Structure 1
Amino acid sequence: MDKNGKSRHSVWLSDDVWREVDALYKLDNCPTRNEFVEKALRQYCGRLHAERTGAYLPRALQEVLEGTLGVFGDRLGRLLFKLVVEHNMTNHLLGGDVDMTRDEYSKMRGSSVREVASTHGNISFKDVLLFHQEE
């Protein structure tokens, strides 16, 4: 074993493969053919592990995605909180100004649930306003 903790191993390669290694190892910024071969073997072993486990992401990519999604989730949470505060204020303004019985409210809620479900949430204030103006 040398000072880097590596041991010598005999590997038999075809001349074509060795010529390819010889041509490419410098392009990959490897100082030696041995480093190039070791990187290639590690990559191939990683691929084989990925095929066995079914889900393989390099750790660096996984950490970047988790960080990005975490920031995105935090931002969405803050935006949703602001939206709910505005919605609550609107509810209080309307609730203080509208005379409606519990039965009327229940009917409107049921109608709203059906409308949102049938349009997949694609409803605008303009559509609702035009609906009520036609009544």
Structure 2
Amino acid sequence: MEKAKKIKFPLWVTPKTMETVKEMYKDDDCRSQSEFIEKAIRAYVGYLRADNSPGMLPNYMVSTMKAIVDSSDTRMCRMLFKLAVEMAIMMNVLAAYCDVEEESLANLRQECINEVKRINGTLGFEDAYHWQKD
């Protein structure tokens, strides 16, 4: 890939801005202050274009949203794992003390599937209690 030819031009910035460039360019893995400034210009142009194009999100926004979703997924997976462990314990305790015929268990499973579908998955203990008593 051919390297793009660069041009040299005067740049007027405040001393504070130049101090910031000197402090930050190595932190951004740039080889020079010019590379840092060029990256900053590209990032700002991308930001401006994203504001003018409502269908596009700026990269920083996409990466932030992805990090939030990934973190949420991780927490949810951990909670689902913990719930599965608790359910396994509960089912084993119940199975050890309940004498339920396989046919009754199959019927109960189908009734529970239908009930959970009907109430859109928001079954609480009180709901199950009242359902069993009716």
TM-score by length of 2: 0.61
Q: How does 1:73-92 map to 2 (within 5 A)?
A: 73-92=73-92
User: What do the CA deviations read for 1:77-115 (whole angstroms, capped 9, x no partner)?
Assistant: 101100110011000011111111111111000100000
Structure 2 residues not aligned, in runs of 5+: 1-6, 12-40
**Corresponding residue SS for 1:108:** helix
- Aligned amino acid, residue 109 of structure 1: R
Q: How does 1:27-42 map to 2 (within 5 A)?
A: 42=45
The number of residues matched between the two structures is 98
**Corresponding residue SS for 1:57:** coil
Q: Judging changes above 3 Å, is the alpha-carbon distance between structure 1 residues 4 and 100 closer, same or farther for their aligned structure 2 residues?
A: farther
Task: Give identity over the alignment, percent.
Answer: 19
The answer to whether 1:113 aligns with 2:113 is: yes
Whole-angstrom CA distance in 1 between matches of 2:10 and 2:81: 55
Match of 2:58 in 1: 58
> What CA RMSD, in Å, does the superposition of the two structures yield over aligned residues?
2.8
Structure 1 residues not aligned, in runs of 5+: 6-37
Q: Judging changes above 3 Å, is the alpha-carbon distance between structure 1 residues 99 and 4 closer, same or farther for their aligned structure 2 residues?
A: farther
Whole-angstrom CA distance in 1 between matches of 2:68 and 2:75: 11
TM-score by length of 1: 0.61
